[in-house]
Chain A
Amino acid sequence: MENIVRHRAVAVATVLAVFACGGGEGDGSESDSGSVPAMASSSSVDLTGAGATFAYPIYSKWFSEYAAATGVRINYQSIGSGGGVRQISEQTVDFGATDAPMSDEEIAKAKGGRLLHFPTVVGGIAVTYNLPGVSQPLRLTGDLIARIFLGRVTKWNDPAIAALNPGVALPTTDLIVVHRSDGSGTTYVFTDFLSTVNRQWASGPGRGLVVSWPVGLGGKGNEGVAGQVKQTPGAFGYIELAYAKQNRLPVALVRNTAGTYVAPTIATISEAADSAVAKLAPDTDYRVTLVPESGANAYPISSLTWLLVYETPPDASKGQKLVDFMRWMYGAGQASAASLDYAPLPGTLAQRLTERLSQIKIGAPK
């Protein structure tokens, strides 16, 4: 057995020396699509947060821009919405982040008092596919997408798809559904949309961070699904818009409530947010979904993502720093959203949320 140990020690040393970073063996290590510590040194971290992976790129950019502007360092761990909700409920972090709004029971379980939801950006989910012979984007309705994910449509040249896409040469190959294997806010928003447009989906798999998918392969993370769609001819899946753009995957045009076939872009996603803001109640707690949307060119599969903040933060100075950051986020920060393929919040919404920041009581006794 000494030979194994000796050879393995040399082998591991060689690999480590070559890669010059702690690669290590990954079996049993935790999952995650991008859990990278945001700060190089944690010696002067002012605020800590944890949660959703969907908005991690823009949060990361904001935290570094904010640190450069004001010197306040914020550390964020993208461990997933569920993890973010758990951490803020236990008060192990200063703020949480989630892609799916918390339920009333979850809010009741938060230990630090009343937990507020603050939207940060608007995102869109692209429906993508791999059809080598087809160059123009496919047109699909929400109901058809739901039926595909229910397993009712198994071939690409199915009459339902052909009827919506006259003149497109659809192949006779199998349609291979790809969904998320891990829990995700992206799945929540997508299944929320499917539940709204198709009754069988609503009474079947329903909406959730994880659902019981009738058919299809599971990919881990947005990058897993993007990879599977890219590699498998005939694949059909859903991913965040940013991933579709960066991987240059084709994106389907989805018919919205107004009847227009809309592609996911910053403009169409913003329009979905605008129309939702117009319908907000004055005393809303902002746990709103953008599905179903209204607006002539609004993209139907859009969603907000939220920061979770206590109404009475336990630490006054940290609470003040957090409020200052959020004020900056609703002001100067929104300008950098589009560069990372997120839609900034509508101006009126950002204004309202800035005013709402005064609802956070700094230094008040609990």
Chain B
Amino acid sequence: MTGSVPAQRDLLEESLPPAGPGIEGQPIGDRVYRVVTTAFAVSVPALLAVIGISVVAAAWPALRTFGVGFLTSSDWDPVRGRFGAAPMIFGTLVSSLAALLLATPLAVGVALFLSEFAPDWLRRPVSFLVDLLAAIPSVVYGLWGVFVLLPVLRDTIVPFLADTLGLGATPFFSGPSYGYSMLSAGVILAIMILPYISAMSREVLLAVPRSQREAALALGATKWEMIRDAVLPFARSGIIGGIILGLGRALGETMAVTMLIGNRHEISASLLAPGYTLASVIANEFAEATGELHISALMACGAVLLGVTLVVNALARWLVWRVSREASS
């Protein structure tokens, strides 16, 4: 070996910061940078904690007055000071679930089309248009829903489902259809969360290596078998991540839902019946709420919504963890 290699290594070691976890001895710029980024990183969970604590603190009078009954009672009577959030919890979960069931196949289908079948010149414009759906304001969705979607659902689609297909005999499509219903809210939510699921799925599907696809095809798989066995398992956790993202949006969506759901404090098995969601009741009643208990009850709805969102997200993340664990084992 020549003598220049040890000399180069000395120079290299001098320019690196000293080894070890402490920041003493590191250049001042690095230290400031580390402190600032740590502060940013800590501030986000701190903000979440502050929001959670202040909402629960404001909700405490109502939760203490009604106890668990707040979650199980359907009686919402501000005149008499009785508040029960069960219809709203039911409505939030059902409308979000309906939206997921409608949006997921469609979104994954769009993503599959764009990743597997679409020619290059088509992929970018269609992707852009699908993502554009996410940029439309919620109120505009609500207006469109009231003037376009609702009449179509009420006059064409629901009679088809209820009478022609005979689904009206089932409890899920029973009862009269006024247009303002859980179904309408579910459909508009499905349209709103579609771009989130679709964009995430598209990214992970495009990231599947070509070698996987070609290996499946080389073994004699049809295109559908190749997608089912080689592509989708790879992309599964990403698709579920997109679904979680969409679900998070659907749970908290306010304006579009409140314009379409009928705002009725009632639990009904039928999708054609009007309902209520936690976010809608806060949006509707908060401005005029004067009694302390009424305001506290609305904050309690907010706390419950926060809790529902956290639980659903935790469940979904656990599901992703399990799925990816199975996939890797």
Contacts and interface: CB of A to CB of B under 8 A. Distances in A.
Contacts, number: 158
Interface in B227-267: 249, 252-256, 258-259, 262-265
A219 B261 CA distance: 9
B263 A218 contact: yes
A206 interface: yes
B174 interface: no
Q: What does DSSP make chain B's interface, helix, strand, loop or mixed?
A: helix
Contacts of A217: 178, 180, 262-264, 274
A209 B288 contact: yes
B252 to A, nearest CB: 6
Contact of A85 (B77, B178, B262, B290): B290
A314 interface: no
Interface in A258-282: none
Interface string A205-220: 1111111100011111
Interface stretch (A28-36, A61-69, A110-118): A28-36
Given A3-B199, A220-B263, A30 B287 contact: yes
B179 to A, nearest CB: 6
Nearest to B147: A231
A14 B265 CA distance: 39
Given A4-B203, A181-B258, A31 B287 contact: yes
Contacts of A181: 258, 263, 280, 284-285
Nearest to A22: B137
A28 B252 contact: yes
Contacts of B200: 1, 4
- Using C-beta atoms within 8 Å of the partner chain, give the interface range for chain B: 35 or more
Given A25-B138, A176-B178, A217-B274, A31 B284 contact: yes
B287 A212 contact: no
Contact of A4 (B75, B131, B252, B254): B131
Given A3-B131, A27-B252, A174-B176, 13 more contacts: A26-B140, A27-B254, A82-B288, A83-B288, A86-B290, A183-B287, A209-B78, A210-B285, A212-B76, A217-B264, A220-B258, A231-B146, A231-B179
Interface of B: 75-80, 127-128, 131-132, 134-140, 142, 146-147, 150-151, 176, 178-180, 199-200, 202-203, 249, 252-256, 258-259, 262-265, 274, 276, 279-280, 283-290, 294
Interface of A: 1, 3-4, 7-8, 10-12, 14-15, 23-32, 79-83, 85-86, 106, 174, 176, 181-184, 205-212, 216-220, 224, 227-228, 231-232
